Amino acid sequence: MKILKFGGTSVADAQNIKRVINIVKDKSQESRLIVVVSALSGVTDLLLKASKEASEKNEHYKEITKLIEQKHLEAIKDLISVNHQSALLSHVKRIINHLETLLDGCFLLGELSARTSDTIAGFGEILSSYIISEAMKHDAELVVETTFKDSRELIITNSSFGKAAVNFEITNQLIADYFHNEGARVTVMPGFVASSMDGNNTTLGRGGSDYTAAILAAATNASDLEIWTDVNGMYTANPRLVKQAQPIRHISYQEAMELSHFGAKVLYPPTIQPVLHLNIPIWIKNTFEPEAFGTYISNENNLQSNPIKGISHIDKITVITLEGSGIIGVSGFSKRLFEALSNENINVIFITQASSEHSICIGILDVDADKAKVAVDKAFEVEISQLRIDPCTIEKNMCIVALVGENMKNHQGLSGKMFSTLGKNNVNIRAIAQGASERNISVVINEKDVQKALNTLHERFFEDNIKQLNLFVMGVGNVGEKFMEQITNQKKYLRENLKINIRLIGVSNSRKMLFDGDGIPLKDWKNLLSDGETADKDAFIERVKALNLRNSVFVDITANDEISKTYSQYLEKNIAVVTCNKIACASAFDNYKNLKNLSRKYNAPFLFETNVGAGLPIIDTLKRMIASGDKINKIQAVLSGSLNFIFNNFNENTSFHDVVKEAGVQGFTEPDPKIDLSGVDVARKILILIRESGYEMEIDDIENKSFLPQASLDTDNVPDFFTSLTANAQHFNDLYKEALAKESRLKYVAQFENGKASVGLQFIPKGHDFYNLEGKDNIVLFYTDRYVDQPLIIKGAGAGAAVTASGIFADVIRVGNV
């Protein structure tokens, strides 16, 4: 005998039921079968909703009943040929009439007892099993004999309505006798429903059809129990929340039990108990992909290399904490606490007590929270009034996350890894428990963090250490586009070689923004963005926070002041900030310092390599020198790729105006070229280097000897600025001639020495390190305690979209390597 159980989605409609019949057809060749079915998908919820509404005198229940009727009639019409339909339709109509009568009763009385609720909840399985058995009987291809048997006649329980306990002695006997005497090849039975000793309808708890199947498997000593559902087995984590989760091929009863108790809904937790001692293996299979291996649950403990089998979670948890000196050393304290809860029928899911015994912390379901608080405070009324214990505190909307694996006991350091992984992602752990079996380590966290926690833990324990970086990119102009191109081209390499999986989750330009929690297809981001929603920087932040993804990185590729003011909001949420925008680091020292502190406090990298010298590794080098104990004494640099380009191309044959224009066209200047030409940009850069060298300085402390005529400095928009360049052509030509006369070249130099900094145009003589600086190159000379006579020199292209983009990219990779 084999038991096959098909869940709600597997029997959702006629089309799916046909799949089920096909599976049954195949399997019935090998063995006798008992086919246990759930209600059509969603019907149990509808029944419970209808009964609640009826008891609240809400007539809407009638519409729900109609909907339920319609679903079943439709299924019959699509499944069964017209000449066989009428008897079945009238049978189903009779059942629906009975349901309506019960609901009308609830409506008229305005009440719903647990007993009535159970009778109503079971209608879904009664209907589905009957229809499916008829469909099988009339299926031309399923030639084997098929019969229907009502589980309520065989499974006998106590009267705990809602989740009744099975009387195995009677039940096993009834089942064994029935199947001994009746020989149909296939017997279809409803899951979930049973009856009490005194003949009332009961149910086995939500999701209980799995249990029905297990009870039948044990009582018939079946060779296999197969749970057919809508996923390829029991996964390493809930596949709806963790996209990278994989089906577990082999798992022990204990592990499967632990995972299901801790929320892996694919298997109703009590299911394993009846088959465990008989060693009946359980298969979890996918009705929609029957050829997939699925999960094999047995008592074989297979020692695979990963000690963790799965990660599961239970949501809607409340943590109750009881604290006070009155707890210490008092025996019988816990007994009173648990008694108070048990008297209210409150199930305790999680317990921890610090060894100081000063407090005890328990996890229960949110729905029981208020009742529990009243009960516990009442139980300790006397101690509370004497101030020896505080009234208990309750924290709702929490969640338990558990790592499960039989072999965890043989490995050290797993809990350390678990906690540090969560800590790094700013997931606050409220309580911790590890069962003595060491098959499970659980933590209580805030519900809003659950997806992030599951995904990071999954990444840490199952994904070969591949780290997912979730990018939110603001600004996709020249540099931004290049950046997108580079990450698209390198994605595969990064995954394979650096174990970094880059995903673009959000992107925005000044007009539009776009989000996709599953990742925006990199090849198509531009089209998708043009159809995106209206851009809004505050809404952008809110979306990033709400997505609450692990390893999130905000990438600022704008030159925008407002955007630079938002960094703290990201860092405080443990979101890394990578920026080529210099404004924040060159703003008031306190602001710069604050951002660095936030970065440290919230463990969120704040990286801005491209603030100085575009893609050149200047800041990174500086950081390493400082970290290894060097001291920066003097900096001399040509830091403006744009000014360098301009002065290298400006000669007697060109006009200063045209060279500046060309620099803009080639993307070497800021959108407002005055920022470059006035020296502000260079001043910001040297300021950042000075600060990164460990000195405190403000932008106004830097002496700025401008080479621009006053008329150009006085302009307040880009067109006027360009006009002023033409009007003052002579001024620039004179500068050029003077350099020629001195046999030197014009270079815009930034300098820092003895605590003083300046920026300005200089005549650089032949032989100087700066003299031969080409095109748009930058050069920095660091004189340090270790580089005394000969400076450490970093030189190379210091402007341009491609190099800037690659500098941003390098920072993103640094975040990945943290």
Question: In the complex, which residues of this chain contact ligand ASP (CB under 6 A)?
Answer: 7-8, 38-39, 44, 124, 191-192, 206-210
Find tokens 């970065």 and name the residue: 599
Q: How far is the CB of 534 from ligand ADP (least distance, A)?
A: 34
Where helices occur in 42-122 by DSSP H, the ranges are: 43-55, 60-79, 82-109, 114-121
Residues of 281-320 as b/e, b for ≥16 C-beta within 10 angstroms?
A: bbbbbbbeeeeeebbbbbeeeeeeeebbbbbbbbeebbbb
664 binds, among ligand ASP, ligand ADP, Mg ion, none (CB under 5 to 8 A by kind): none
Q: How far is the CB of 33 from ligand ASP (least distance, A)?
A: 18
Structural contact between residues 447 and 468, judged by C-beta atoms closer than 8 angstroms: no
Q: Which is nearer to ligand ASP, 44 or 551 (CB)?
A: 44
Q: How far is the CB of 206 from ligand ASP (least distance, A)?
A: 4
Q: Which is nearer to ligand ADP, 234 or 346 (CB)?
A: 234
Q: Which is nearer to ligand ASP, 163 or 371 (CB)?
A: 163
Contacts with ligand ADP, residue ranges (CB under 6 A): 7-10, 38, 207, 229-231, 234-235, 237-240, 264-266, 310, 312
Using alpha carbons only, give the angle 214, 217, 221 rounded to the nearest 5 degrees.
145
Q: Which is nearer to ligand ASP, 148 or 192 (CB)?
A: 192
Chain-centroid distance of CA 564 in Å reads 26
Find tokens 């798992």 and name the residue: 251
> What is the per-residue DSSP string for 441-486?
EEEEEEGGGHHHHHHHHHHHHHSTTPEEEEEEEE--SHHHHHHHHH
Q: Which is nearer to ligand ADP, 151 or 566 (CB)?
A: 151
- Cα 66 from Cα 100, distance rounded (Å): 10
Size of the site for Mg ion (CB under 5 A): 2
Which residues, numbered 6-25, are part of the site for Mg ion (CB under 5 A)? 7
324 binds, among ligand ASP, ligand ADP, Mg ion, none (CB under 5 to 8 A by kind): none
596 token code pair? 């660095």
- Cα 127 from Cα 604, distance rounded (Å): 56
Q: How far is the CB of 7 from Mg ion (least distance, A)?
A: 5
What long-range pairs does 388-392 form, CB within 8 A, spacing at least 24? 388/324, 388/325, 388/326, 389/322, 389/323, 389/324, 389/326, 389/327, 390/322, 390/323, 390/324, 392/320, 392/321, 392/322
Backbone conformation region of residue 427, classed left if phi is above 0, alpha if psi is from -120 to 50, else beta? beta
Q: How far is the CB of 357 from ligand ADP (least distance, A)?
A: 36
55 binds, among ligand ASP, ligand ADP, Mg ion, none (CB under 5 to 8 A by kind): none
9 binds, among Mg ion, ligand ADP, ligand ASP, none (CB under 5 to 8 A by kind): ligand ADP
Q: How far is the CB of 506 from ligand ASP (least distance, A)?
A: 37
Going by C-alpha positions, the residue among 756, 736, 731, 755 that lies closest to residue 747 is 736
- Cα 735 from Cα 234, distance rounded (Å): 76
Q: Which is nearer to Mg ion, 234 or 614 (CB)?
A: 234
> What is the per-residue DSSP string for 389-432?
SPPPEEEEEEEEEEEE-GGGGG-SSHHHHHHHHHHHTTPPEEEE
Q: Which is nearer to Mg ion, 253 or 268 (CB)?
A: 268
239 binds, among Mg ion, ligand ADP, ligand ASP, none (CB under 5 to 8 A by kind): ligand ADP
230 binds, among ligand ASP, ligand ADP, Mg ion, none (CB under 5 to 8 A by kind): ligand ADP
Of 124, 207, 506, 664, the one binding Mg ion by CB under 5 A = 207
Find tokens 């840490």 and name the residue: 460
Backbone conformation region of residue 484, classed left if phi is above 0, alpha if psi is from -120 to 50, else beta? alpha
CA dihedral 481, 485, 487, 489 (to 10 degrees): 180
Would you call 685 a catalytic residue per the annotation? yes
44 binds, among ligand ADP, ligand ASP, Mg ion, none (CB under 5 to 8 A by kind): ligand ASP
Q: Reduced to 3 states, what is the DSSP secondary structure of residue 211?
A: helix
238 binds, among ligand ADP, ligand ASP, Mg ion, none (CB under 5 to 8 A by kind): ligand ADP
- Cα 72 from Cα 94, distance rounded (Å): 13
- Cα 773 from Cα 648, distance rounded (Å): 9
Q: Which is nearer to ligand ADP, 21 or 619 (CB)?
A: 21
Q: How far is the CB of 268 from ligand ASP (least distance, A)?
A: 6
395 binds, among ligand ADP, Mg ion, ligand ASP, none (CB under 5 to 8 A by kind): none
Q: Reduced to 3 states, what is the DSSP secondary structure of residue 56?
A: coil
Q: Residue 297 belongs to what H/E stretch?
A: strand 295-298
- Cα 115 from Cα 99, distance rounded (Å): 14
Q: How far is the CB of 228 from ligand ASP (least distance, A)?
A: 12
User: Which stretch in 45-53, 206-214, 320-328, 460-468 sits in contact with Mg ion by CB under 5 A?
Assistant: 206-214
Q: How far is the CB of 192 from ligand ASP (least distance, A)?
A: 4
Q: How far is the CB of 23 from Mg ion (least distance, A)?
A: 17
575 binds, among ligand ASP, ligand ADP, Mg ion, none (CB under 5 to 8 A by kind): none
Q: How far is the CB of 43 from ligand ASP (least distance, A)?
A: 7
Q: Which is nearer to Mg ion, 7 or 641 (CB)?
A: 7
Q: Which is nearer to ligand ADP, 230 or 481 (CB)?
A: 230
Backbone conformation region of residue 704, classed left if phi is above 0, alpha if psi is from -120 to 50, else beta? beta
Q: Which is nearer to Mg ion, 207 or 673 (CB)?
A: 207
From 482, 685, 747, 776, active-site residue? 685
Structural contact between residues 811 and 491, judged by C-beta atoms closer than 8 angstroms: no
CA neighbours within 13 Å on the CB side: how many for 137? 16
Task: Let me know if 405 is exposed, middle or buried by CB neighbors in 10 A (0-12, 13-18, 19+).
Answer: buried
- Cα 132 from Cα 189, distance rounded (Å): 9
Q: Which is nearer to ligand ASP, 124 or 816 (CB)?
A: 124
39 binds, among ligand ASP, Mg ion, ligand ADP, none (CB under 5 to 8 A by kind): ligand ASP
192 binds, among ligand ASP, ligand ADP, Mg ion, none (CB under 5 to 8 A by kind): ligand ASP
Q: How far is the CB of 8 from ligand ADP (least distance, A)?
A: 4
The packing angle between helices 333-343 and 369-379, to 10°, is 140
Where helices occur in 602-668 by DSSP H, the ranges are: 618-627, 641-649, 656-665
Enzyme catalytic residues: 685
Give the residues lining the site for Mg ion (CB under 5 A). Answer: 7, 207
